[in-house]
Chain A
Amino acid sequence: METHHIIRVVGVTKAFSLGKMPVQVLKGVDLNVATGEYLSIMGPSGSGKSTLFNIIGGLDKPTSGRVFIDEVDISQLDAYELAWLRNRKIGYIFQTFNLIPVMTALENVTLPMIFAGMPGDHAVDKGRKLLGDVGLGERFLHKPSELSGGQQQRVAIARALANDPAIILADEPTGNLDSTTGGEIIALLQKMSRERNVTIISATHDFKMLSVSDRVVWILDGRIDKIELRDELKISLGTIQERHEPARP
């Protein structure tokens, strides 16, 4: 059976102009991601990792090259279509949780559903169920400031899943959490992706995160350095750590 590629990145380059100097951040990246895959993007800061991540998520446009999500070239979409893509196809999870501080957990989760045109009652029912699924059944009326970091990230996961997206983009989801809570969040993400066949792409420095990934993509100087499958990764974990440790702050 042929694998269905939910994301195809073809020859993507990105140049920024810093003052008068053009800086080539991405120098031609090609990548295919299969549906339901758990992919981690890894690389030192300044490698172009975040730029690639933002381009895949439709938050940034490539200078040249194409990004296909479900065979639709997202660099050709207009503002309406991009908004629709962000609303329905992609769920975002951030390092800083990024819940809307003035809304309760439930309101945060239902907002994308309301944008999608779902009637209020349905949205509330589904929001309650999603919050239950991530283990926050009782705390749905709390504001983000009344929740711990781990709980906030659980709300963010529920929100990302609100419109049954095909892809979840997680930007250092465990970066602001302690190791135990981070582990729980990773387990939850993995469970959700398995149950719902959601593709997860995460940018991370967390080695716990790498060990649950199906594949790890290493970005170095704007290019894909190498792509490793999980099995290969376990063998070489020590050496990776050694090689990339000095590059990290």
Chain B
Amino acid sequence: MPETENRRLRPKISRQIVLPWKKSLAMAVSSLKIRFLRSLITIFSLVLAIAFLCFTLTNTAIARELYRLHGNMALPLLIQAGYLFDPATATINAGPKELWLMVLSLLVCTVGIVNAQLMSVTERFREIGIMKCLGALDRIILRLFLIEATILGIFGAGVGCLLGMLAAWGGAFLNYNTFDCSEIALLPLLAEASRAWGMGIGLSILGVLYPAILAAKLQPVIVMKEEY
């Protein structure tokens, strides 16, 4: 009777529970779509923080470009705008106030993400418990949350970067209109923007780690309880 034979628990049965990447991705996407409003709230702080980060980084890059194009003629205006000029290396850097604000905004944003994700995990306790009853492993739950956070990060930080870049460009045209800006190279600006983008995706993943581990460690027996 092969049927009964198959049904017997074998001693080595690890790795038999699977969720293919394609399916994980589809589940994460549909989960985000269905909880669209909550997802928006989760990434709102990320969008703002990354917009600010991108704004500051792009501004600094523009200042560097101006110095490269116009040399010492541009210096008084740049120093007035708060940039630091290091004569030894002849480079323009963001002022300490900007750096401080950047760090602070990223910190607040991470705390915001952790908070929003904790909330969303709590809302989904029962759903996670059901999946565990159906055989889901800890790492499958963990993976679903990480994929969701990555997608949120890509979109949220992307939107933030666009906003930040637009603001930085707009500001540059207003502030530096006495200089010829047509020669500014786009590449260094885009490099700074993509740095901000990568940072945003990283923060989104960092923010979901603790809530996701909490979710993955849930015991399936919680679905038997009424309070969730």
Contacts and interface: CB of A to CB of B under 8 A. Distances in A.
Interface of A: 50, 54, 59-60, 69-70, 72, 78-81, 83-89, 92, 94, 96, 98-103, 111-112, 114-117, 120, 159, 166, 171
A99 B129 CA distance: 11
Interface residues of B, number: 35
Contact of B19 (A92, A100, A115): A115
B38 to A, nearest CB: 12
B186 interface: no
A85 B19 CA distance: 16
Contacts of A98: 126, 129-130, 133, 223
13 contacts: A59-B133, A70-B8, A72-B9, A80-B15, A80-B137, A84-B17, A86-B132, A88-B7, A88-B135, A92-B134, A99-B130, A112-B135, A115-B134
A102 B14 CA distance: 29
A189 B9 CA distance: 25
A87 B134 contact: yes
Name which of B135, B219, B220 has the most chain A CB atoms within 10 A of its CB.
B135
A89 B221 contact: no
Nearest to A53: B224
B184 interface: no
Contacts of B16: 80, 84, 87, 116-117
A130 B36 CA distance: 31
Interface string B14-30: 11111110010000001
A88 B10 CA distance: 12
B23 A114 contact: yes
B88 interface: no
B103 interface: no
Contacts of A92: 133-134
Point out which of A70, A72, A78, A102 has the most chain B C-beta atoms below 10 A from its C-beta: A102
Given A79-B137, A79-B138, A166 B224 contact: no
In the complex, which of the residues B23, B129, B130, B136 has the most CB atoms of chain A within 10 Å of its own CB atom?
B130
Nearest to A96: B226
Given A80-B14, A87-B134, A89-B9, 15 more contacts: A54-B221, A59-B219, A70-B8, A70-B9, A80-B13, A80-B16, A80-B17, A83-B136, A84-B16, A86-B134, A87-B16, A87-B135, A88-B135, A92-B134, A102-B34
Q: Which 5 A-B pairs have the closest CB atoms?
A: A87-B135, A80-B14, A59-B221, A72-B9, A112-B134
Given A59-B224, A94-B224, A117 B18 contact: yes
Given A79-B138, A83-B137, A111 B131 contact: yes
Contacts of B8: 70, 72
Given A102-B30, A102-B34, A117-B16, A81 B9 contact: yes
B136 to A, nearest CB: 6
Contacts of B226: 96
B180 interface: no
A188 to B, nearest CB: 20
A86 B220 contact: yes
A109 B135 CA distance: 13
B127 A102 contact: yes
Contacts of B34: 102
Contacts of A89: 7, 9
A76 B223 CA distance: 23
A10 to B, nearest CB: 17
A78 B13 CA distance: 10
Nearest to A113: B134
B31 A83 contact: no
A83 B30 CA distance: 24
Contacts of B20: 114
Contacts of B129: 98
A117 B13 CA distance: 13
A83 B217 CA distance: 13
Contacts of B224: 50, 54, 59, 94, 171
Which of B13, B134, B135 lies at the interface centre, i.e. has the most chain A CB atoms within 10 A of its CB? B134
Contacts of A85: 9
B36 to A, nearest CB: 11
